[in-house]
Structure 1
Amino acid sequence: MYDDLTYDIIDDGGDSEGFAYDDDYYEQPESSQPLASLLHLLQFCVKPTVTEAYASLLQLFAICLAFRAVTQIVRLPDPFHHLVSSLCGVLALYSTFELQSAYPAFLALFGAVVIQTTHALYSSGRGYTVGAVFLLQLLLCELGLVSGDTWERIRGPQMVLTMKIVSYAFDLDSSALKFDAVAFLGYALCPGNLVFGPWTPFGDYMASFEYDAWDWKWLKRVLSSFFKSLFYFTLSVCFLEWAIPDQGSSKFALVYRDALLFRVGHYFVSFAAETSALVSGLWKVEITKPSAIEWPDSLVQVVIFWNLPIHRWLKTYVFRTSLPAGTFVAVMSTYLVSALLHGANAKLSAILLSLGLYTYVEHSLRSKMAEKFCACIGPRPCPKPCSVHKRHSTSNILVYAINLLFTLVAIFHLAYLGCILDTVMDTGENIVKDPFSRWAELGYVSHFTVGATAAIYGAMAIIW
C-alpha cells in the first residue's frame, strides 16, 4: 500500500540509508567467488538494514500486541476499547513518524467533525460529500499544502485514514451503522492498520474485540506474515540489485528488475501490514498474493490481487456507485479515484490510468473470445471442471497456449509500466524534466501493443 515506506523506514538519519543505495555493497569482493560475494552481501547489506528497519517495526508490533491484550483480556464496555484504540494509534504514529504524526492525528479529528456536520445537515449523500472533501485534501497535500519531505512520509497513513473516513460515511448513508464519535476515532486510529494499512471496514474493527483466540492458528499466521515481510524486504533492499547488476545485464533485464524492485517492496509493506493487523486482533485480513501477480492469468487478476482491501474498497464505494453511467466510465472512475488516493503522483497516476485502459481492453477482448469460441480463455480463470466451456476447457492444448500468451503479455506490461517507478524517492530536476523517460526509451511499446489489442477487439466486435 505504501511502497515509499520500503526505504523510508530505514531512513531516520542514521548510517543505514547507505546500505540501501551504496553500489559498493553490490560489487564483487576480491575473491570474486559467489559464496564470498554472498557473505559480503549478508554482512554489509542484509544484517545492518534488517536490524535498523525491524527495530522500528518491532516497536509497532509491540504496541499492537498491547492494544489487543488490554482490549481482549480485560472485558470492559466498548467506549473503553475505542479510547484504548485511539491512544495506541497515536502512540504507533509517534513511534514511526515522531512530530509528523500530528498530521494524520489531525486528519482523524477533522474526519469526525466533517462526518458529524454532514450527519447533522442531511440524511443521505454524505458519502459523496465526505469523499469529495477528503480526496480533495489528498490532492492539495500532493500539490504543496504539506511540505514534500513530510508528505512523502505520511502519505500512507493519510491514504488509509481517507479510505476509513469515506467508507464510514457511505455506511452511514446505507444505515449500516449509527454515528458515534468515540467509536469512529477508535476505528480511524486503530494501531493495527494505521501505519501500514490495510483498510478494513468498521465491522471488522468491531469484530476484533470479539475474536479472543490466542492459539497456534493465530500465532502461525502472525509468524508467516512476519517472515514473508522479512524475505521480501531483504530481496528488495539487497538481493535483486546484486543478482541483476547494472553492468553486464541486458536492457530488458534491467527494466524487469526495476519494476520487480517496486513490486517486491510492495510485498514487504503488505506482509508487514498483515503482521501488525493480525497482532492487533484484526483477523479477517489478506492483502496481496505475489504468485498471482508475478505469474498472472491476466492483468485483471493483477489489479485484484495487488491489494485486496483497496480493490474491495474501490469496488464497493466507487465502481458500484458509478456503474449506472456505464462500464467504461465506472472502470476509469475507479482508477482515477485510486490515483487520487495515492496522492495524484504523476508517475503512479499514469500507471494506474494506463492499467485502467489495459484491463478494460483485455477484459473486453478475452470475454468476446471466450464467448465466441466457447473456450476457457476469459479474463478470469474458469473453475475446474468448467461447466460452460466443455468443448475447449483448460486441458485443451490451444487454450493453454492462448492463456500462456496472455500471461507473458501481462508480465511484459508489468515490467514496462513499473520500470518508471524508482525505488528511491523522486527528487530534483529529473522528475520535473521527464518522468516518463524510461517509457520513451522503450518507444512506448506497451501502449502501442494495447492499441493494437484494442484494434483487434474492435474488428471482432464489428465482424461478430
Structure 2
Amino acid sequence: MNIDEYDYDLYIDKYYNPDAINYDEETFFDVLVNCALLSIQSILPILSRLICTNLCFGVLTSVFSDKLPQQLFHSLSGICGIYLVLTLSSAQGKVMILLLFGLSYICIKFTVIIQRFIRPMLYPYLSSSNLVKCALIAFSILCQHKFLDQETWMEIRGIVMIFSMKMISLVDDIERESIILPSFTNFFGYIFSSANILFGPWISFQDYMHLYRQPTKKNILWVLSTIKQVFISLLFLIISNCFATYLISDESNLLLVSYREALSFRNSHYFISFLSEASMLAAGFKNSKIWKNDHEWRYIVTDPIKIEFPTALAIVVTYWNKPMHDFLKKYVYRAWLPLGRFPAILLTFAISSFLHGFEPKVSVVLLSLGVFSYLQYALRDFVSKAFNVCVRVYPCTRVCCHRYKRNDIRSRTLQILFSITTVLHLIFLGVLMDSSTDEIGIFEKWRNLYFYSIWIMFVDLLIAFL
C-alpha cells in the first residue's frame, strides 16, 4: 500500500500502490482481483506474525495459568514483543526502541528517587510525571530531527507513541500511589507486550497485570472472535485502498471527492483499530465488563457506526480510539482542568499531537478538532438553554426537564443539522490526511473547500458567546 507516512492510525506496510489502477476502466471484479486481493496479500506477512505470536502467548498463559511464575509470564510477554519489534526493517529503528526502553526504566527509578527530596511547593512543576513527559518529548524531537532519517522515524513512530503512553500512565499511577514501582521484569513485559507493541491499543499497567492474576478462559469463541476481527479489519483495508476510489471517481464534484479522501483515511484507521483488537483478543485480553463472561470476546477500540453517522464531534473524539481517549482524559485532561475547560482541551490535543510525532498536518487536524468540538459543544449547550430543547451533545441521564424532549420534532431537526455540520467538519479535517496534502500543502487543500469549517466555527462562536 502506498502511504507516505507511518502513523499509529496508518501503520501499513508500503508494498502496493493502488494509485496505479485506472478505476474508470475497471469493473468491480477487476478491482477485487487487482487491488483488494493484492492489498490483503501485502499485509499478510505482518498480520500473520502478529496474530500467531499472540495466539501462542494466549495458549501458553492459559494452559499453564496455575503453574506459570509471574516473572516467567512477564518475560514471555516481553520476548514475544521483542520478536515483533525485530521484524522491523530498520536496524537503527530497533536500536532506538531498545535504547528508549533502557533509558525509560532508569528515568523512572531516578524520578521516583529524587521526588522524595523535592519541596512540596515545587511538586506541581517537578513531579515525576512532568519530568518523564519532558524527557519523552525531548527524545521524540531528537529522534525525528537529529538521530533518525524520516523513513526510519515514520516506521517506529507508532511504537514510540504506545511506549510513551505506557510510560506516562505508569509514572502517573506510581506518583498517585495507585501502584508500586514495578520490577524490571514486570516493566519489560508491560512495555513490550506483544498484544499492543505494534498497533496498540494503550492499556494501563493494572489492566496488563489483570491478565496474569485472573487469566481469561479460552474456548472456540476466543479463536472465532479473533478471526472475525481480522476479517473486519481486512474489509476496512480494501475499502480504504480500493473501493472508496472505485465508488467515488475523480470526476465527481469537489465535496464528494473530499468525502472520499476523508473516508479512505477513516477506513485505514478502522483497519488498524480492528487489527489491534484482534491482537489483544489473541493474547487473551478483553474488556473488563465482560472479563468473566466466557461467551463474549471484545476489546473495543473504535466504533465506526458512531463515527460515520455522528451526532457530535465530541462523540467522534470519544469513539475514534476509545483506549487513547481514556488515557488522555485520565492522565492529561484532568490534570489541566483547573486551568479551565477550553485550555485543558487545547493542551490535551497538544499532547496528543506530541504523541503522534509532531507531524504538521496531524497537529493541525488535532488542534482544529479540539477547537471545533469545544465550540460545537458550547453552541449546543447554549441552544438547549435558550430554547429549552434537549439538544446537548449527551442526552439527559435522568428525567429530562426540557420543554422539547429528545424525540420532539424540533429537537430531532436540530440534531440532524448538528450531525450534518459534524460530517462536514470530518470531511474538512480528513482531507488533510490524504497524501496529496504533502504536495500542495494544508492551505491549498482547505482553500479548495473555501475554508467552510472555519466559517462554521465563527458562526458557532458568535451564537454561543456573543
Tell me whether 1:117 sits opposite 2:110 in the alignment: yes
For structure 1, the 5+ residue unaligned runs are 30-36, 460-464
CA distance in 2, matches of 1:97, 1:57: 15
Give the superposition deviation at 1:224.
2.9
1:218 to 214, 222, 225: 222
Q: Structure 2 vs 1, CA of residues 206 and 8 (structure 1 numbering), >3 Å: closer, same or farther?
A: closer
1:8–1:458 distance in 2 versus 1, CA, 3 Å: closer
Partner of 1:102: 95
State whether structure 2 residue 333 is matched by structure 1 residue 319. Answer: yes
Counterpart residue type for residue 86 of structure 1: G
Counterpart code for 2:463: I
Q: Percent identity?
A: 29
CA shift digits 1:32-74 (9 cap, x unpaired): xxxxx11111111111221221232011111111222223322
Give the counterpart of 1:387 among 399, 402, 406: 399
2:19 is the alignment partner of 1:21:
yes
Aligned counterparts of 1:115 and 1:6: Cα–Cα separation in 2:
28
CA deviation after TM superposition for structure 1 residue 97, in Å: 4.2
Which residue, 282, 287, 290 being the options, matches 2:285? Answer: 282
Q: CA RMSD in A?
A: 2.0
**Match for residue 245 of structure 1 among 243, 249, 257:** 249
Quick check: 1:157–1:194 contact (8 Å CA) kept in 2?
yes
- 1:275-328 deviation line (CA, Å, top 9, x unaligned): 011101121232110111111110110111111111111101111011111111
Distance 1:439 1:311 in 2: 27
Q: Does 1:86 align with 2:46?
A: no
Mapping 1:295-310, distance limit 5 Å: 295-310=309-324
User: Structure 1 residues 358 and 5 mapped into 2: Cα distance closer, same or farther (>3 Å)?
Assistant: closer
Mapped partners of 1:183, 1:8: distance in 2: 27
Q: Provide the aligned length of Structure 1 versus Structure 2.
A: 437
User: Which residue is 2:208 aligned to?
Assistant: 205
Answer yes or no: is the 8 Å Cα contact 1:348–1:421 preserved in 2. Answer: yes
Amino acid in structure 1 at the alignment position of 2:455: F
Deviations 1:155-177 (A, max 9, x none): 10000000001110001001111
Which aligned pairs between 1:70-85 and structure 2 lie closer than 5 A?
70-74=60-64, 75-85=67-77
**CA offset at residue 7 of structure 1?**
6.7
- Which piece of structure 1 moves more, 281-290 or 167-176? 281-290
Instruction: Please list every run of 5 or more consecutive structure 2 residues that lacks an aligned counterpart in the other structure.
Output: 117-122, 288-298
| Aligned counterparts of 1:313 and 1:457: Cα–Cα separation in 2 | 29
Structure 1 runs (4+) greater than 6 angstroms displaced? none
- Paired amino acid for 1:118: T
Please point out which of 244, 262, 266 is paired with 1:263: 266
Report how far residue 364 of structure 1 moved.
1.2
Mean Cα deviation higher: 199-208 or 114-123: 114-123
Q: Confirm whether residue 439 of structure 1 aligns to residue 446 of structure 2.
A: yes
Deviations 1:104-135 (A, max 9, x none): 23222221111011112224721111112112
2:341 counterpart of 1:348: no
Aligned to 1:418: 430
Answering whether residue 336 of structure 2 is matched by residue 336 of structure 1, we say no
**TM-score scaled by length of structure 2:** 0.89
Are the equivalent residues in 2 in contact too, given 1:193–1:276 (CA < 8 A)?
Answer: yes
Deviations 1:413-444 (A, max 9, x none): 110111121258x76xx36xx33311022221
Match of 2:276 in 1: 273
The aligned residue for residue 451 of structure 1 is 458
Kindly state the Cα deviation for residue 255 of structure 1 after the two structures are TM-superposed.
0.7
Q: Deviations over 1:357-396 (max 9, x none)?
A: 111111111122223333220012345xx61235311220
Instruction: Quote the residue 1:254 is aligned against.
Output: 257
Alpha-carbon distance change, 82 to 155 in structure 1, aligned in 2, over 3 angstroms: same
Please say if residues 388 and 403 of structure 2, whose CA atoms lie closer than 8 Å, have aligned partners that are also in contact: yes
Query: Does the 8 Å contact 1:347/1:421 carry over to 2?
Result: yes
Q: Deviations over 1:135-192 (max 9, x none)?
A: 2322333334321001111110000000001110001001111112211111000000
Letter in 2 for 1:101: K
Residues 297, 381 of structure 1: 8 Å contact kept: no
